[in-house]
Structure 1
Amino acid sequence: MPQLEVDGAALTYDDEGPRDGDGVPLVFIHGWTADRHRWDHQMAHFAEKRRVIRLDLRGHGDSSGAGVPTVAELADDVLALLDHLDVERAVLVGHSMGGMIAQTITLDHPERVERLVLVGSIARMTYSRGRGLLMAASTLVPYKLFVATNIQRAFAPGYPREEVRAHIKASAATPREVVMTLYGAMRAFDVLDRVGEIRVPTLLIHGYYDIQLPVRQMLRMAKAYPDAEVRIIDAGHELPLEKPAELTTALERFLARG
């Protein structure tokens, strides 16, 4: 597992596929409390014909490092990795918090992004009064219960319970300081008034049963995008886990667009 030292963190990453393959590299960015293996299906599929890169964000998976207070600092980590790998331009694919990172890079460094794919992600964290009270209350309970509450809500009804429990356990292994600091970073994230500046082709793909970041919030964001394709899939928030093949097919079709 190669690693890159960036501002006190050792970032673990994978860099696979032919350097002279089809198109610019694909860069996959996972979400909060997850790791780079969320993208196993997409990596296996796309690495056969093009360069694909993924990383564990600081404090997640096999990467070390403390939490940071802003999404922009996570975006700087991703850019540092791309610089290290001599990737000047890429297709960014981000899930949830990873989509927030991808939007930040696209807005601040548009020359680095050829296309943008947001999977279960939004441009502004918005809570209904009821959900806001629930989330505020969840921070007062023991850490493992806080994580379990949030991860269990991420899956659509009917997803196998034993798999949900396994993902709860993996998420709870993420250090508390990292989880809570980045929770605050996501709550503060807001680029909704800027997404109209994004000029690259964009795919917004969302789970119909996503209650973490509801479809209506994504559709509100979609109206501001000048060149966005919207896909709704029969899944919850954890699309890369719940419907990996459908996600891969949607990505393939989007990349084939002229």
Structure 2
Amino acid sequence: MPQLEVDGAALTYDDEGPRDGGGVPLVFVHGWTADRHRWDHQVAHFAAGRRVIRLDLRGHGESGGSGARTIQALAGDVLALLDHLGVDRFVLIGHSMGGMIAQTITLAHPERVERLVLVGSIAKMAYSRGRALLMSASTMVPFRLFVAANIRRAFAPGHPREEIRAYVEGSSATPREVVMTCYGAMRDFDVLDRLGEIDAPTLIVHGYHDIQLPVRQMLRMAKAYPNAEVRVIDAGHELPVEKPAELTAVLDRFVS
């Protein structure tokens, strides 16, 4: 797999599909403790007709490096890759933490983002007092249990247990330092008051059963966007793998 060295991290990425025709490239950014293969279904579909780029964020998947302490730093990695590939303008698609990265890039470089897609993401982490206490307490349990609890609750009830176990194993392989620093970066993330600056056509896709980032938080964000449409799918937080065909169809309609 091709890699790019960025600030001490070897970032693994895929750059697929035709270089001409079909519109600007699609750039997929995965979420916390995941990797670029969360997007396998979507990439297989779109790469048949247009250029598609995805990466493993630093410390995730097959990329090296320690965990970034801010979402801005992770956004810098994505931009460094796109600059390396000579991609000036693109459609940006982010899931969960990847959606936070996508919003950060769009606010910093609006001229480069043709369209923005947020999948299971929000603009500000918000907790009730009770949930904040629960989340703080969860960081004190053994690391593997902390990761497993967060990944299991990301799926809607009824999702096949063997698939969930596989995703728990993959997420648990992410180094502890990466998991915890990115977790802190998400908790500190807040661009809610700046969303009015984003003029790019925006698609917000969310799972109805998402308890990681509840629908009500997404709707609070969606109201702040001047040019957004919302789609709610019967799934949990892990839309790209829970309902891959349905998500791909929604994306296809929007980016086409």
TM class by shorter-chain length?
over 0.9
Cα distance in 2 for partners of 1:157, 1:27 equals: 30
How far the C-alpha of 1:190 sits from its partner, in A, is: 0.1
| Structure 2: gaps (5+ residues) | none
* 2:236 is the counterpart of 1:209: no
How far the C-alpha of 1:130 sits from its partner, in A, is: 2.1
Amino acid paired to 1:245: A
Map residues 139-178 of structure 1 onto 2, 5 A cutoff: 139-178=139-178
In structure 2, the residue matched to 1:84 is 84
| Residues 56-102 of structure 1 deviation map (CA, whole Å, 9 limit, x = unaligned) | 00000000000111000000000000000000000000000000000
In structure 2, the residue matched to 1:185 is 185
| Structure 1: gaps (5+ residues) | none
Cα distance in 2 for partners of 1:38, 1:128 equals: 29
In structure 1, the residue matched to 2:45 is 45
Amino acid paired to 2:18: P
| Residues 127-152 of structure 1 deviation map (CA, whole Å, 9 limit, x = unaligned) | 11221121111100000000011001
Cα distance in 1 for partners of 2:80, 2:54 equals: 13
Q: Please, which moves more after superposition, 125-134 or 207-216?
A: 125-134
Q: Secondary structure at the match of 2:33?
A: coil
| Residues 203-238 of structure 1 deviation map (CA, whole Å, 9 limit, x = unaligned) | 000000000000000100001101001000000000
Cα distance in 2 for partners of 1:80, 1:243 equals: 31
TM-score when scaled to structure 2? 0.99
Q: Secondary structure at the match of 1:10?
A: strand
Q: After the TM superposition, which segments of 4 or more aligned residues of structure 1 sit over 6 Å from their partners?
A: none
Q: How many residues align?
A: 256
Identity of aligned residues (%): 80
| Residues 159-184 of structure 1 deviation map (CA, whole Å, 9 limit, x = unaligned) | 01111111011100000000000100
TM-score when scaled to structure 1? 0.98
Q: Secondary structure at the match of 1:146?
A: helix
Amino acid paired to 2:13: Y
- Root-mean-square deviation over aligned CA pairs: 0.5
Map residues 107-256 of structure 1 onto 2, 5 A cutoff: 107-256=107-256
* 2:25 is the counterpart of 1:25: yes
